[in-house]
Chain A
Amino acid sequence: AQSVTQPDIHITVSEGASLELRCNYSYGATPYLFWYVQSPGQGLQLLLKYFSGDTLVQGIKGFEAEFKRSQSSFNLRKPSVHWSDAAEYFCAVKDNYGQNFVFGPGTRLSVLP
């Protein structure tokens, strides 16, 4: 069965610092990969997605992610974090034949002023 792990439950960074959130997945083929952000009490907003092609994907709000097949990873990065980036971040995988997403447990990001 597919699975997604996000090793960091909670990360705290200072405003203006760089950020990297880790995501590892288990899947036999190349999956469709996603990063979503969730503010408290809100639904999920898509940051970026990877289907195929260039392994470095640009998203909204200055985020990017890199797909590394050899490491089964899809880490999310941002060069300079803003206070408004404080939220919960979820990595998700959808296989090419099924219809559902498998989400990771999430990483909560706190931003210090």
Chain B
Amino acid sequence: ETGVTQSPTHLIKTRGQQVTLRCSSQSGHNTVSWYQQALGQGPQFIFQYYREEENGRGNFPPRFSGLQFPNYSSELNVNALELDDSALYLCASSLVDDRFYGYTFGSGTRLTVV
């Protein structure tokens, strides 16, 4: 059973640029969520995708957007990067049906905005 894989592991971008982060869900999972973890803080929910549609969103501006593909992999896009976007971005996948089974987290992408 494969886990959740994220790419790249580290990334440095300049303020104002755009970035795309990628996530491959665990086999058999149909839902993916993205979290932002600033240094020294707990993860904050960005949004979730289920069946290729956004299925819930946290308190993040529209310049944070995402996609989920038919194979349940996902992308997180951030436009007009700001210094405060520097963080560890975590992807989590889950199987959602009539029950909740829990999330599996990836190791994250460390984004540094300079």
Contact = CB atoms under 8 A, between A and B. Distances in A.
Interface residues of B, number: 27
Contacts of B43: 44, 90, 101, 103
Interface stretch (B13-21, B69-77, B106-114): B106-114
Contacts of B106: 43
Given A90-B42, A99-B55, A100-B45, A42 B107 contact: yes
Contacts, number: 57
Interface string A27-55: 00000101010000111111001010000
A100 B102 contact: no
Interface residues of A, number: 24
Nearest to A39: B107
Given A41-B110, A100-B56, A46 B102 contact: yes
A102 interface: yes
A36 B105 CA distance: 10
Secondary structure at the A interface, as helix, strand, loop or mixed, is: strand
Interface in B1-53: 4, 31, 33, 35, 40-45, 48, 50
A90 B41 CA distance: 10
